[in-house]
């Protein structure tokens, strides 16, 4: 059975496609058909004859004959191009044969043609001939030829003459020529041609999977293989099985590059749910395991017909189960009645039966009916609703960005890889290039010539961003031309990259945004088509999820939108570009935009605006186009639509109805009773999805609430602005503490901002800006804040004249509490109010809402002891409410606790049997890979700061495979629990504690300056180092193969200073011979970490032995002071993703390098290097090469 159609070789027929390339649609089809009929096609012994048009447009009848058997007919078939107006790029192909005795092989070939992407007729027929020729041993390797050019050597016949032969010849007796039995003998129907070929193919695929898995594992990602069909073959899958590949990372590790607050704002499930422990990328569409790898080293699909699919979600395990993987990959769902519908209908049926019985038999005859009804009413015969198991850890759940990321990967990933391979650009440059190719409909080479400068500039900007620590490792950056591409690894790295910077790109067209305001949550660009698709296709935040889990927040957003629209201030953004059709607005709802001007003592108040008249173009459906309305009428239409919606509580109850597995979950539009237009649901979605701020209500019993606020105020966590707004604010705080003595003690202060209810729809989307004057500017331009809460609550947070009638909250007043950099002398004004012009100095923390319904209180919480630390207020800048001091919890405390909780829950899970089989498989042919490194090369570090997460140990860790990958073993079998433990070799390297103690006796004290982020990163590295070292001590290669050793007895409480020994150099190296001659056990390194780590590089220096300086004939990239002369240890070459084991390996390779001169010991080798000479040597080397010395290195080393 054919698994897939092969890719046809180059042929003369392709010249026909080139000749007709300027034509499109029906003209192109007619030209290609004419060429085919005139020239024909031949592949080895097979030929296409009797080409003629069919009965309908786009239909082609043809016959395939075997030249070797006197033009015996092999196949008669029909190929139909479904829509010739879309030919040759967007049509479909239908194939069939009327040969009743066609074997399964032939029908498989024809079926495969229908699955291939659109292509010219000649390419389709070439694929058909090549697939059919797979049954003949001698024909599969022959080139396709034009039969018009075939010479007399091929039986002396011209294909042109055959193509115009009489149609009566089609009735020849097929069986007399041997038929299918002659062309497809039984012993050749199997494409694999024997068990040996199958085993060889399996070995090659396993070798590639193993190599790719090891590379993924070395980056602390988790690979996985999920066969869709169980098999008795080794590993649980065979080469014909369809499958999916997964790559995952614990979500908590994303906080190393993405602020945890941003992750929570994007989707609370990312950190708020224990079930969302891993971010998972699921790749399917291979067709079978034999199709791996799916792309060539040039970035193209290995064969036509492959269409990879990508699913992005979160899962409690490192990969989803087979059942859920199949469920996610399928593109359909069952539509049926849910459990509650069935129960209701059975109750109604029983009631009708009871009434009929009473009508027919009277009271005496109702006992059986009553009994039946009562039995059912008490549960007898009631279907037990089967609900999805929320505790199923194998389920892959979607989150708010899943749809956008999946669309990005499916539409762009392979194209971007191809561009990168061909033009040598980075991700950013490839994205810019593809954007121009698609928008201007120009060729790649043309775009490259025109926009090369812009493409290069985009890559330079991304390199700078990568050096800041925001971006992860790029696996294609150092890939040599022609080197195989690890697609799962590349796809996952690209996924992490785009997730990290998702707020800078449109969620629909995926192009970079040009707006000056960067939102906390990702959104869309200003193109109407993107806006339409964002809401129509439910991209971004899930409205259903928000209603079920945050109903009060949804209620608040709808209420604020209604208030803004009803009072005439609702402006940008508006729900335009969504193709809304709405009823003609009620004229009574249309009001003018209120004046924002304020009179002064020398100017009169401005005149109020008037309402413009509007003429509606009402369609046959009685509706009008929303986008064509004046803005005043748009506001009226919005309030009218929102009033038709049910309450949020009713929506929540509807969505929480139980459903059976495999059936579609309830949808909001199913609540429609005939009075709710589709536009109303779209506006509801817009109210929620257009809010790019983070809002989360806290119950009054939560310790994180502001202490001292009246109980009638609901409290929401509130953040607005770009994901890096917190980092910019923190930078402003750090700057203030260095320049102001009071700010050093009290870095920030808190103050309130109040505004009329109608303005908050805009504030929660744009932040506290001062583009619009809301309450006058008597004390200058800027954001106005008050230290006394009552000032904001009483005078400025005035209620609205209109409120959404379905609201449960019924908000009447809104006040924000903001944290501000404590430099009041630099404010525009500080008395009686703070007036701040620099908005980067302001970060919103809380939103206080007063409404019709007070928040529920927890009586038990009054006895709880507060454990959350409160902000230490500046005595001169305390905040009060009616004279009473308020206490504010430390910002970010709850996020830190959430991250810590997720870290504690994380378990280092073992690989399942299928994945372990791939790691341990030894039958796969190994390739010896020689890696040449120089000073200018970068090591291949993990994409995030390598090291074990804060995990609970559970069995053998998957990190064991990393060691094998670095040592070139190509297998993780050594770490398998099933393999017998061999232990270290007898001649393994031995640690000499006394030798090290003498060398480190006069070290400088450890660094005293540290930062929390640096401490966490160093701890991860330390844990990873010890884990890898422990593994090496029990492996067959031992410490000798590891090449370094970190003595535990020299570790101190200050882990910003490490002592590491480097040993076991190649015995043929001059340095190894010197070490052996002088009986030097190892090179002893000191590693010092700066407070900026991992953004800033650590400092490596050799303590002992002393090397021969370069000016005296030495080498090995060791400076005259014992520091290491390598750019990756400077600000220019360092990347935050580099791991210490990778750097140690790079240093050892540099010392072992014989070019330009080998490293040698100096005659005074036993004299240790001093700190001063190492620093001086490092600076000299950096100056000679033009490298930038890391900032603060003098404080770090001295």
Long-range own/partner contacts, residues 665-671 (CB < 8 A, 24 or more apart): 665/544, 666/338, 667/544, 668/543, 668/544, 668/547, 671/646
Extents of the domains making up the chain: 13-188, 197-332+395-504, 339-377, 528-593+621-689, 705-854+871-888, 993-1197
860 contacts: CB under 8 Å, gap ≥ 6: 701
Helix (H, G, I), strand (E, B) or coil at 43: strand
pLDDT for the residue 196: 60
Angle of helix 121-132 relative to helix 104-115, nearest 10 degrees, comes to: 150
Q: What share of the chain is helix, strand, coil (3-state, %, to 5)?
A: 40, 15, 45
Mean pLDDT, 10 residues at a time, the chain of 1198 residues: 43 56 83 85 84 84 85 85 79 78 75 76 83 52 36 33 37 42 44 57 86 82 89 78 90 86 85 81 87 88 80 92 85 48 57 58 44 39 41 81 91 94 94 93 92 93 79 81 90 94 90 76 84 78 85 93 91 85 87 56 42 75 90 92 92 83 72 81 90 79 77 85 72 88 91 90 78 60 88 82 88 91 91 87 89 62 60 87 85 79 80 86 46 37 36 36 37 39 76 91 80 78 88 88 91 86 93 93 94 89 91 85 89 85 91 87 89 87 87 82
Instruction: For residues 651 and 483, give the distance between their C-alpha atoms in angstroms, rounded to a whole number.
Output: 54
Instruction: For residues 502 and 470, give the distance between their C-alpha atoms in angstroms, rounded to a whole number.
Output: 12
What number of other Cβ atoms are within 10 A of residue 333's Cβ?
A: 11
Closest by Cα among 983, 982, 985, 958 to 972: 958
State the Cα angle at 666 between 664 and 668, rounded to 5°.
130
pLDDT for the residue 304: 65
pLDDT for the residue 752: 92
Each residue of 943-961: pLDDT tens digit?
A: 333 333 333 333 333 333 3
pLDDT for the residue 192: 40
Instruction: State both tokens at 1048.
Output: 């535990």
Instruction: For residues 719 and 520, give the distance between their C-alpha atoms in angstroms, rounded to a whole number.
Output: 8
Q: For 1182, what's the count of Cα atoms within 13 Å in the CB-facing half-sphere?
A: 22
**1014 phi and psi angles, rounded to 5 deg:** -65, -40
Instruction: For residues 769 and 767, give the distance between their C-alpha atoms in angstroms, rounded to a whole number.
Output: 6
- DSSP codes, 64-88: EEEGGGTSEEEEEEEEEES-GGGTT
Contact criterion met (CB below 8 Å) for 546 and 652:
no
Q: Is 1137 exposed, middle or buried (0-12, 13-18, 19+ CB in 10 A)?
A: buried
**What are the beta bridge partners of residue 1044?**
1062
Instruction: State both tokens at 1092.
Output: 């900026």
- DSSP codes, 355-382: HHHHHHH-GGG-HHHHHHHHHHHTTTT-
Contact criterion met (CB below 8 Å) for 410 and 314:
no
State how far the alpha carbon of 243 is from the alpha carbons of 6, 113, 173, 576, 1101, in Å.
Answer: 20, 22, 44, 43, 49
Residue showing tokens 């040598």: 424
Instruction: Strand 713-719: give its sheet, edge to edge.
Output: 694-698, 713-719, 842-850, 813-821, 748-755
Q: For strands 46-53 and 694-698, give the pairing.
A: unpaired
User: Peptide bond preceding 1013: is omega within 30 degrees of 0, i.e. cis?
Assistant: no
Q: Compute, in degrees rounded to 10, the torsion defined by CA atoms 254, 260, 262, 266.
A: 70
Instruction: State both tokens at 1168.
Output: 């240790």
- DSSP letter assigned to residue 657: -
* First CA to last CA distance, the chain: 72
pLDDT for the residue 197: 63
Contact criterion met (CB below 8 Å) for 169 and 49:
no
Contact criterion met (CB below 8 Å) for 900 and 271:
no
303 contacts: CB under 8 Å, gap ≥ 6: 4, 5, 6, 7, 291
| Superfamily name and number for 993-1197 | Ubiquitin Conjugating Enzyme (3.10.110.10)
Instruction: State both tokens at 259.
Output: 């602020």
Instruction: State both tokens at 785.
Output: 């804040």
Instruction: For residues 453 and 150, give the distance between their C-alpha atoms in angstroms, rounded to a whole number.
Output: 50
Out of 3.30.1180.20, 3.40.640.10, 3.90.228.10, 3.40.50.1780, the CATH code matching 705-854+871-888 is: 3.90.228.10
pLDDT for the residue 831: 85
Instruction: For residues 301 and 308, give the distance between their C-alpha atoms in angstroms, rounded to a whole number.
Output: 10
pLDDT for the residue 710: 84
Contact criterion met (CB below 8 Å) for 310 and 282:
yes
Contact criterion met (CB below 8 Å) for 64 and 3:
no
Instruction: For residues 1157 and 1164, give the distance between their C-alpha atoms in angstroms, rounded to a whole number.
Output: 19
Angle of helix 631-643 relative to helix 678-689, nearest 10 degrees, comes to: 100
Helix (H, G, I), strand (E, B) or coil at 145: strand
Closest by Cα among 1056, 1057, 1080 to 1160: 1080
Contact criterion met (CB below 8 Å) for 279 and 493:
no
**842 φψ region: left (φ > 0), alpha (ψ -120 to 50), beta (else):** beta
Give the pTM: 0.61
State how far the alpha carbon of 703 is from the alpha carbons of 230, 312, 897, in Å.
Answer: 51, 35, 13
pLDDT for the residue 289: 82
pLDDT for the residue 335: 45
Q: Is 1048 exposed, middle or buried (0-12, 13-18, 19+ CB in 10 A)?
A: exposed
């Amino acid at each position: 059975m054919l698994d897939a159609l092969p890719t046809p070789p180059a042929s003369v027929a392709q010249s026909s496609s080139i000749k007709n390339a300027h034509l499109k649609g029906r003209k192109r089809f007619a030209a290609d058909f004419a060429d085919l009929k005139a020239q024909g096609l031949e592949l080895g012994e097979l030929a296409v004859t009797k080409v003629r048009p069919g009965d309908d447009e786009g239909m082609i009848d043809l016959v395939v004959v075997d030249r070797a058997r006197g033009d015996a007919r092999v196949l008669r078939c029909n190929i139909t191009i479904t829509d010739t107006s879309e030919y040759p790029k967007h049509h479909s192909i239908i194939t069939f044969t009327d040969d009743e005795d066609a074997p399964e092989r032939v029908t498989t070939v024809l079926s495969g043609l229908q699955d291939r992407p659109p292509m010219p007729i000649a390419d389709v027929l070439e694929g058909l001939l090549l697939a059919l020729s797979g049954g003949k041993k001698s024909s599969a390797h022959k080139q396709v030829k034009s039969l018009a050019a075939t010479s007399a050597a091929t039986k002396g016949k011209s294909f042109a003459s055959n193509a115009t032969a009489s149609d009566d010849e089609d009735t020849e007796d097929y069986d007399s020529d041997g038929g299918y039995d002659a062309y497809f003998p039984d012993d050749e129907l199997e494409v694999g041609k024997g068990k040996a070929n199958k085993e060889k193919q399996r070995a090659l695929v396993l070798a590639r999977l193993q190599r790719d898995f090891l590379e993924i594992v070395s980056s602390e990602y988790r690979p996985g293989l999920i066969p869709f069909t169980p098999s008795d073959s080794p590993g649980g899958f065979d080469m014909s099985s369809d499958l999916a590949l997964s790559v995952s990372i614990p979500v908590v590790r994303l906080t190393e590059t993405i602020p945890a607050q941003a992750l929570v704002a994007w989707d609370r499930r990312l950190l708020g749910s224990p079930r969302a422990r891993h971010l998972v990328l699921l790749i399917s569409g291979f067709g079978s395991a034999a199709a791996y790898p799916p792309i060539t080293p040039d970035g193209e699909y290995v064969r036509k017909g492959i269409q990879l699919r990508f699913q992005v979600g979160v899962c409690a395990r490192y990969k989803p189960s087979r059942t859920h993987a199949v469920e996610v990959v399928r593109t359909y769902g069952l539509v049926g009645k849910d459990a509650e519908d069935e129960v209701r209908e059975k109750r109604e049926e029983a009631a009708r039966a009871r009434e009929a019985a009473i009508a027919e038999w009277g009271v005496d005859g109702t006992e059986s009916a009553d009994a039946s009804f009562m039995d059912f009413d008490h549960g007898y015969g009631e279907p037990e609703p089967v609900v999805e198991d929320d505790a199923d850890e194998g389920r892959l759940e979607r989150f708010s960005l899943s749809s956008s990321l999946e669309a990005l990967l499916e539409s762009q990933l392979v194209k971007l890889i191809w561009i990168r391979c061909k033009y040598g650009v980075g991700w950013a440059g490839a994205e810019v290039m593809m954007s121009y190719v698609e928008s201007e409909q120009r060729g790649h080479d043309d775009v490259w010539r025109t926009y090369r400068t812009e493409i290069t500039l985009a890559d330079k900007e991304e390199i700078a961003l990568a050096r800041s620590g925001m971006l992860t490792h790029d696996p294609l950056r150092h890939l040599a031309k022609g080197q195989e591409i690890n697609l799962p690894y590349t796809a996952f790295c690209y996924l992490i990259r785009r997730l990290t910077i998702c707020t800078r790109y449109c969620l629909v067209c995926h192009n970079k945004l040009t707006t000056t305001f960067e939102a906390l949550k990702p959104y869309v660009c200003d193109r109407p088509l993107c806006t339409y698709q964002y809401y129509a296709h439910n991209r971004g935040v899930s409205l259903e999820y928000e209603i079920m889990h945050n109903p009060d927040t949804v209620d608040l957003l709808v209420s604020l939108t209604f208030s803004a629209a009803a009072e005439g201030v609702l402006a940008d953004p508006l729900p335009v570009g969504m193709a809304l059709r709405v009823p003609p607005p009620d004229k009574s709802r249309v009001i003018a935009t209120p004046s924002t001007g304020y009179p002064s003592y020398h100017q009169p108040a401005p005149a109020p605006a008037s309402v413009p008249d509007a003429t509606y173009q009402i369609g046959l459906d009685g509706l009008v186009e929303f986008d064509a309305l004046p803005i005043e009428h748009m506001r009226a239409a919005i309030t009218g639509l929102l009033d038709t919606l049910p309450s949020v509580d009713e929506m929540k109850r509807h969505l929480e109805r139980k459903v059976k597995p495999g059936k579609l979950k309830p949808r909001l539009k199913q609540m429609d009773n005939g009075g709710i237009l589709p536009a109303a649901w779209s506006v509801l979605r817009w109210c929620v999805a257009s809010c790019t701020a983070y809002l989360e209500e806290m119950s009054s019993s939560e310790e994180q609430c502001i202490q001292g606020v009246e109980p009638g105020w609901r409290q929401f966590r509130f953040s607005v602005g770009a994901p890096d707004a917190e980092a910019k604010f923190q930078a402003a705080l750090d700057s203030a503490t260095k320049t102001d003595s009071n700010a050093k003690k009290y870095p920030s202060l808190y103050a309130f901002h109040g505004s009329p209810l109608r303005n908050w729809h805009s504030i929660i989307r744009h932040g506290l800006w001062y583009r619009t004057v809301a309450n006058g500017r008597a004390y200058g331009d800027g954001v106005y804040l008050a230290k006394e809460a009552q000032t904001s609550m009483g005078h400025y947070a005035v209620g609205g004249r209109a409120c959404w009638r379905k609201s449960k909250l019924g908000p009447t007043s809104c006040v924000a509490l903001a944290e501000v950099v404590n430099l009041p002398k630099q404010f525009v004004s500080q008395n009686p109010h703070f007036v701040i012009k620099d908005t980067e100095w302001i970060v919103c923390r809380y939103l206080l809402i007063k409404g019709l319904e007070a928040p529920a209180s927890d009586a038990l919480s009054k006895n709880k002891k507060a454990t959350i630390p409160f902000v230490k207020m500046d005595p001169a800048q305390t905040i009060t409410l009616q004279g009473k001091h308020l206490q504010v919890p430390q910002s970010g405390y709850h996020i830190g606790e959430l991250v810590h909780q997720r870290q504690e829950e994380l378990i280092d899970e073992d690989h399942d049997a299928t994945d372990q089989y791939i790691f341990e498989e030894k039958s796969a042919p190994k390739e010896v890979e020689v890696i040449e490194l120089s000073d200018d090369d970068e090591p291949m570090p993990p994409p995030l700061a390598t090291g074990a997460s804060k995990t609970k140990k559970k069995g053998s860790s998957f990190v064991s495979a990393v060691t094998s990958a670095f040592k070139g073993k190509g297998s993780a079998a050594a770490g398998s629990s099933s393999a017998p433990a061999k232990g270290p070799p007898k001649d393994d390297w031995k640690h000499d504690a006394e030798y090290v103690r003498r060398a480190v006796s006069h070290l400088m004290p450890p660094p005293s300056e540290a930062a929390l982020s640096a401490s966490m990163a160093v701890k991860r590295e330390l844990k990873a180092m010890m884990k890898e070292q422990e593994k090496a001590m029990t492996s067959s290669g031992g410490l000798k193969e590891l090449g370094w050793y970190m003595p535990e007895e020299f570790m101190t409480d200050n882990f910003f200073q490490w002592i590491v020994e480097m040993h076991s150099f190649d015995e043929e190296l001059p340095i190894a011979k010197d070490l052996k001659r002088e009986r030097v056990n190892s090179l002893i390194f000191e590693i010092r970490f700066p407070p900026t780590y991992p953004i800033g590089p650590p400092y490596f220096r050799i303590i002992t032995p002393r090397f021969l300086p370069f000016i005296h004939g030495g080498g090995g990239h060791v400076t005259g002071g014992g520091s290491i002369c390598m750019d990756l240890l400077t600000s220019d070459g360092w990347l935050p993703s580099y791991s210490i084991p990778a750097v140690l390996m790079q240093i050892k390779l540099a010392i072992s390098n014989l070019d330009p001169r080998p490293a040698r010991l100096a005659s005074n080798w036993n004299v240790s290097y001093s700190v001063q000479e190492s620093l001086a040597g490092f600076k000299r080397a950096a100056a000679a090469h033009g490298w930038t010395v890391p900032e603060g290195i003098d404080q770090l080393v001295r």
